[in-house]
């Protein structure tokens, strides 16, 4: 009878059942959407962090920031030979260590020896600013041609007037292009950790552990594309000729490093013998990261340790705004809507039971025990809850699918440009030239993955909603007396 | 065999107390028919609830075959209702979403009758009230008289000792009323039921062998000569 009665009730009172189910469905759909969107946010943030760190890197060690020394040379400075012959092609590379601050290589071993450190790998990040240009020497009217050895870059070499200004130079000019890229010197003997660990080799090969000082390079995909480099191509940095052996595609986002070379080569290029800019650290236990950070900071002075948690807190931009929104507003909104849905379902069920006073009174008068009547009411609202859950899951999946299909672009900025707290978290070799603080910006498409846990949560919520409504209705039904069968209200 | 002694029922709502029954004493032998009459608000339905074990008196006892329905626990009382008492109402009280057959089956649910047997007995009961062709009809698809027949089938399908009816013809036109009354008379005799019926209808009350009048909670009994067997089969004399 339970089943038939249930079926008949739901079948003949479809509208009432649907109203309750829809209320629950809305709440559940919202929970699924918020849940999956915030899962997407977390994934996106993970991607941002991983693109900087690489899998397995728990923290980085960089040199603690110190105030730049006054008078130290700032800004690029290029010297070109001023030859007196007509037109001239010139090229010059200026190589600087990232952030201009480096640590001694010996610290890599010291960090590696700290308690809780599984492995430590050093890397040297360089910024190369390449200037290509040509001069056309001006023709002087006077017989003596004066060389215009220029220290100006790019300035229209209108010529320099010297002395009395008698000799006039005409038709001189210079045409320069400046571009810069980043080079990371990596430890070829341990590539599981460090800047190259964030990328996959999609063409060619990576370094062999024997190539500690080989003149070979792995080039980032987008850099290779703009430069039209292929495996086997060659290029020169500061007079050293490198052969491209592989193309690396970053696991996510844009690569922050354009060229990878063996560490020793980078040290030579950057005139930084036995120096590294960043030490990548993997902890033995991911639960112990804070303790390891403390140990490194207290035992090795002059260093800044940045964990991914530190880094995560510096993520800014629309990604973090949206993520904050999803965790705060979204969570509260879905809790509120869900609570409202539960309440509405409970009230509607309860009202529906009240309208059936005579029906339940009659059943009791016929000798139905209270629990049988209650069971009927609870059963009905459980089915309503499950229908609501089903609709809610469908709606939520549709919403999550829509978000994924649209995949709104979010930007993430890493690093606090002001150089506070995290300082030059060297991991982020900015594409920008010169001595900018390490901040990196990347664009990430948001997806809303729906996990099984989310579905399970939705089903749980549906059952809970049905139970709450059923408990309310069942309680009312259980209080009805057989004498209510004679009540005149219908 | 019913024995009601000093049955008093007070309803209290807030500060107001209504005394619906005031010290009612009444004995009904097995197989007897009793018609209860009286002005509205006099306490007829209240008395019927006491007899049917639908409610308990504030004072006094309601003994059915020596068991005081006023004292036994809720579970036992529910059981007594399920096994011994068939009841029909003025507004039929069918479950609107169930078919005629399913409505009749609801009376067998608390007795733990197996579904197949339940269906068979319900169909049989409906046939006995002349609704053998209407097993699958919903209440809304039937006339008032047909609905009351379903209710009668539901009351009798469990083969109770007692049949209670609260203005069973109150919502029916005269022709239908006579049909239903004839049916009830026949069933009462056929099954040897103890039959207690509340009615406003004086033409029905007039032919009852035993008539109780209840006003302001007090009961007076009148024994009277019935018009005779099968009175409802023909025209009712006035
Ligand atoms: N549940 C209740 N709560 C409070 N008062 C009640 C309740 N049920 C009945 N009463 C009161 O008890 C008195 C008797 O009611 P009862 O229903 O027994 O009258 P009745 O004779 O059946 O009337 P009617 O002919 O109108 O059906 C009335 O005054 C009624 O208002
Ligand atoms: Mg009444």
CATH number at residue B43: 3.40.50.300
Rounded distance between C-alpha atoms, residue B188 and residue B182, angstroms:
10
Q: Check if the interface score ipTM surpasses 0.95.
A: no
Strands B194-198 and B33-37: parallel
* Boundaries of domain holding A31: 2-53+317-487
- Asked if residue A152 is part of any domain, the answer here is no
- Asked if residue B231 is part of any domain, the answer here is no
Does residue B5 carry a pLDDT above 50? yes
Instruction: Pick the more confident residue, A77 or B139.
Output: B139
- Whole-number pLDDT of residue A81: 56
Substitution target in B77, B95, B159 with the highest count of A β-carbons within 10 Å is B95
Which of A76-80, A192-196, A276-280, B145-149 shows the lowest per-residue confidence on average (mean pLDDT)?
A76-80
| Mean pLDDT for the stretch of residues A94-107 | 80
User: A40: how many CB neighbours lie within 10 A of its CB?
Assistant: 26
| Mean pLDDT for the stretch of residues A421-435 | 34
* Nearest CB to B49 within list A1, A5, A483: A483
- Whole-number pLDDT of residue A138: 59
* Boundaries of domain holding B7: 2-223
| Mean pLDDT for the stretch of residues B194-219 | 91
Of A302, A325, A359, which residue is a domain's last?
A302
- Asked if residue A62 is part of any domain, the answer here is no
- Whole-number pLDDT of residue A15: 86
**pLDDT band at residue A233 under the 50/70/90 scheme:** very high
Judgement on whether residues A382 and A455 belong to the same structural domain of the protein: yes
Rounded distance between C-alpha atoms, residue B16 and residue A393, angstroms:
53
Ligand 1 atom, smallest distance to B44 CA: 21
B91/A365 Cβ within 8 A = no
- Whole-number pLDDT of residue B146: 95
- Whole-number pLDDT of residue A427: 36
Ligand 1 atom, smallest distance to B40 CA: 25
Give B-chain residues touching A370 at CB under 8 angstroms.
Answer: 78
- Give the burial class of A287: count Cβ atoms within 10 A of its Cβ; 0-12 exposed, 13-18 middle, 19 or more buried: exposed
Output the 3-class SS for A409-460.
Answer: EEEEEECCCCCCCCCCCCCCCCCCCCCCCCCEEEEEECCCCCCHHHHHHHHH
- Whole-number pLDDT of residue A234: 93
Helices A14-53, A370-406: crossing angle, 10 deg rounding: 40
B79/A367 Cβ within 8 A = yes
Find out whether the beta carbon of B139 lies less than 6 Å from any atom of ligand 1.
no
Which of B43, B167, B205 most suits a substitution to test ligand 1, by most atoms within 8 Å of the C-beta?
B43
Q: CA A399, A404, A406 angle in degrees (round to 5)?
A: 95
- Whole-number pLDDT of residue A136: 63
- Whole-number pLDDT of residue A482: 93
Helix (H) or strand (E) holding A199: strand A199-204
Mean pLDDT of all residues belonging to chain A:
78
What is the total count of domains within chain A?
2
Rounded distance between C-alpha atoms, residue A243 and residue A249, angstroms:
18
User: Are the beta carbons of A455 and A326 closer than 8 angstroms?
Assistant: no
- Whole-number pLDDT of residue B151: 97
Judgement on whether residues A453 and A338 belong to the same structural domain of the protein: yes
A364/B78 Cβ within 8 A = yes
- Asked if residue B49 is part of any domain, the answer here is yes
Judgement on whether residues A331 and A384 belong to the same structural domain of the protein: yes
Judgement on whether residues A443 and A351 belong to the same structural domain of the protein: yes
Helix (H, G, I), strand (E, B) or coil at A299: helix
| Mean pLDDT for the stretch of residues B187-194 | 93
Judgement on whether residues A400 and A456 belong to the same structural domain of the protein: yes
| Mean pLDDT for the stretch of residues A245-253 | 82
Does residue B227 carry a pLDDT above 60? no
- B118 → chain A, closest CA residue: A1
- Whole-number pLDDT of residue A50: 66
Rounded distance between C-alpha atoms, residue B161 and residue B1, angstroms:
9
- Asked if residue A115 is part of any domain, the answer here is yes
Place of tokens 């919403």: A399
**pLDDT band at residue A190 under the 50/70/90 scheme:** confident
pTM of the model: 0.67
> Using one digit for the tens of pLDDT, what is the confidence trace for B98-155?
999 999 999 999 999 999 999 999 999 999 999 999 999 999 999 999 999 999 999 9
Find out whether the beta carbon of B217 lies less than 6 Å from any atom of ligand 1.
no
- Asked if residue A257 is part of any domain, the answer here is yes
| Mean pLDDT for the stretch of residues A151-169 | 45
Rounded distance between C-alpha atoms, residue B166 and residue B192, angstroms:
19
Judgement on whether residues A394 and A363 belong to the same structural domain of the protein: yes
Which of B41, B49, B166, B214 most suits a substitution to test ligand 1, by most atoms within 8 Å of the C-beta?
B41
- Asked if residue A140 is part of any domain, the answer here is no
Which of A55-59, B13-17, B187-191 shows the lowest per-residue confidence on average (mean pLDDT)?
A55-59
Instruction: Pick the more confident residue, A450 or B152.
Output: B152
| Mean pLDDT for the stretch of residues A307-334 | 75
Judgement on whether residues A443 and A482 belong to the same structural domain of the protein: yes
Question: Residue B113, Cα to own-chain centre: how many angstroms?
Answer: 23
- Whole-number pLDDT of residue B25: 96
- Asked if residue A141 is part of any domain, the answer here is no
What is the total count of domains within chain B?
1
| Mean pLDDT for the stretch of residues A470-476 | 92
DSSP classification of residue A484: G
The closest alpha carbon to B209, from B235, B228, B192, B190, belongs to B228
- Give the burial class of A111: count Cβ atoms within 10 A of its Cβ; 0-12 exposed, 13-18 middle, 19 or more buried: buried
**pLDDT band at residue A433 under the 50/70/90 scheme:** very low
Which of A44-48, A421-425, A466-470, B6-10 shows the lowest per-residue confidence on average (mean pLDDT)?
A421-425
**pLDDT band at residue A222 under the 50/70/90 scheme:** confident
Instruction: Pick the more confident residue, B29 or A196.
Output: B29
User: A95: how many CB neighbours lie within 10 A of its CB?
Assistant: 18
Judgement on whether residues A105 and A12 belong to the same structural domain of the protein: no
- The most confident of the ranges A145-159, A322-336, B54-68 is B54-68
Rounded distance between C-alpha atoms, residue B41 and residue B19, angstroms:
11
Instruction: Pick the more confident residue, A146 or A214.
Output: A214
Judgement on whether residues A338 and A378 belong to the same structural domain of the protein: yes
User: A106: how many CB neighbours lie within 10 A of its CB?
Assistant: 11
Measured in angstroms, the CA of A374 and the nearest CA of chain B are apart by 14
Judgement on whether residues A264 and A124 belong to the same structural domain of the protein: yes
Rounded distance between C-alpha atoms, residue A192 and residue A254, angstroms:
20
Judgement on whether residues A220 and A118 belong to the same structural domain of the protein: yes
- Give the burial class of B237: count Cβ atoms within 10 A of its Cβ; 0-12 exposed, 13-18 middle, 19 or more buried: exposed
Q: What percent of chain A shows pLDDT beyond 70?
A: 76
- The most confident of the ranges A7-11, A280-284, B157-161, B175-179 is B157-161
User: Are the beta carbons of A306 and A438 closer than 8 angstroms?
Assistant: no
- Whole-number pLDDT of residue A152: 43
Residue A180: CA atoms inside 13 Å, Cβ hemisphere, count?
Answer: 20
User: Are the beta carbons of B62 and B70 closer than 8 angstroms?
Assistant: yes
Find out whether the beta carbon of B44 lies less than 6 Å from any atom of ligand 1.
yes
Protein residues within 5 Å, CB atom, of ion ligand 2 = B 45
Does residue A67 carry a pLDDT above 70? no
Give B-chain residues touching A357 at CB under 8 angstroms.
Answer: none
| Mean pLDDT for the stretch of residues A53-82 | 62
Judgement on whether residues A289 and A330 belong to the same structural domain of the protein: no
- Whole-number pLDDT of residue A177: 75
């Amino acid at each position: 009878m339970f089943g038939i009665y249930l079926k008949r009730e739901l079948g003949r009172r479809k509208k009432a059942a649907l109203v309750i189910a829809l209320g629950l469905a809305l709440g559940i759909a919202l929970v699924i959407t918020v849940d999956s969107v915030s899962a997407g946010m977390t994934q996106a943030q993970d991607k941002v962090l991983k693109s900087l760190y690489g899998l397995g890197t728990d923290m980085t060690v960089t040199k603690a920031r110190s105030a730049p020394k006054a008078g130290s040379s700032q800004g690029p400075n290029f010297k070109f030979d001023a030859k007196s012959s007509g037109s001239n092609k010139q090229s010059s590379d200026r190589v600087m260590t990232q952030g201009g601050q480096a640590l001694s290589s010996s610290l890599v071993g010291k960090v590696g020896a700290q308690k809780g450190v599984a492995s430590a790998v050093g890397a040297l990040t360089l910024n190369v600013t390449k200037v290509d240009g040509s001069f056309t020497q001006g023709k002087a009217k006077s017989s003596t041609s004066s060389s215009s050895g220029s220290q100006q870059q790019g300035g229209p070499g209108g010529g320099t007037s010297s002395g009395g200004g008698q000799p006039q130079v005409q038709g001189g000019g210079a045409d320069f292009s400046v571009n810069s890229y980043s080079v990371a010197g990596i430890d070829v003997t341990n590539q599981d950790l460090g800047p190259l660990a964030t990328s996959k080799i999609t063409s060619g090969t990576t370094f062999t552990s024997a190539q500690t000082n080989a003149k070979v390079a792995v080039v980032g995909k987008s850099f290779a594309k703009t430069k039209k480099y292929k495996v086997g191509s060659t290029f020169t940095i500061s007079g050293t000729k490198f052969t491209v052996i592989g193309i690396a595609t970053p696991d996510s986002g844009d690569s922050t490093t354009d060229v990878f070379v063996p560490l020793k080569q980078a040290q030579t290029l950057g005139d930084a013998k036995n120096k590294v800019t960043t030490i990548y650290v993997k902890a033995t236990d991911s639960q112990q990261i804070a303790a390891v950070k403390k140990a490194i900071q207290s035992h090795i002075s002059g260093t800044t340790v940045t964990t991914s948690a530190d880094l995560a807190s510096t993520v800014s931009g629309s990604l973090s705004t949206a993520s904050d929104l999803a965790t705060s507003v979204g969570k509260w909104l879905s809790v509120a809507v869900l609570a409202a849905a539960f309440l509405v379902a409970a009230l509607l069920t309860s009202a529906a039971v009240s309208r059936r006073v005579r029906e339940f009174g009659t059943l009791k008068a016929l000798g139905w025990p209270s629990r049988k009547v209650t069971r009927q009411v609870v059963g009905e609202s459980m089915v309503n809850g499950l229908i609501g859950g089903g609709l809610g899951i469908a709606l939520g999946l549709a919403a999550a699918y829509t978000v994924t299909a649209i995949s709104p672009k979010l930007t993430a900025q890493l690093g606090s440009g002001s150089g506070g707290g995290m300082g030059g978290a060297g991991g982020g070799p900015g594409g920008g030239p010169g001595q900018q603080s390490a901040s990196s910006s990347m664009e990430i498409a948001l997806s809303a993955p729906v996990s099984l846990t989310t579905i399970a949560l939705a089903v749980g919520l549906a059952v809970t909603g049905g139970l709450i409504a059923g408990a309310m209705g069942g309680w009312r039904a259980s209080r009805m007396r057989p004498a209510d069968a004679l009540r005149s209200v219908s | 065999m019913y024995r009601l002694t000093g049955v008093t029922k007070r309803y209290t709502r807030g500060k107001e107390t209504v005394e619906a029954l005031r010290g009612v004493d009444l004995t009904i032998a097995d197989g007897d028919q009793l018609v209860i009459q009286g002005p509205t608000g006099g306490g007829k339905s209240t008395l019927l609830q006491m007899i049917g074990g639908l409610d308990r008196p504030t004072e006094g006892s309601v003994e059915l075959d020596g068991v005081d329905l006023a004292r036994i626990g809720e579970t036992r009382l529910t059981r007594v209702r399920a096994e011994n008492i068939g009841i029909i109402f003025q507004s039929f009280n069918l479950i609107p979403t169930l078919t005629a057959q399913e409505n009749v089956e609801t009376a067998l649910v608390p007795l733990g009758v197996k579904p197949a047997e339940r269906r068979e007995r319900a169909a049989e009961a409906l046939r006995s009230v002349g609704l053998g062709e209407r097993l699958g009809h919903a209440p809304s698809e039937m006339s008032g008289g047909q609905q009351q027949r379903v209710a009668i089938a539901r009351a009798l399908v469990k083969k109770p000792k007692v049949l209670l009816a609260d203005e069973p013809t109150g919502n029916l036109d005269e022709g239908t009323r006579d049909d239903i009354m004839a049916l009830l008379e026949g069933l009462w005799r056929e099954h040897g039921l103890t039959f207690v019926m509340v009615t406003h209808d004086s033409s029905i009350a007039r032919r009852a062998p035993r008539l109780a009048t209840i006003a302001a909670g007090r009961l007076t009994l009148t024994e009277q000569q019935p018009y005779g067997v099968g009175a409802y089969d023909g025209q009712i004399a006035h």
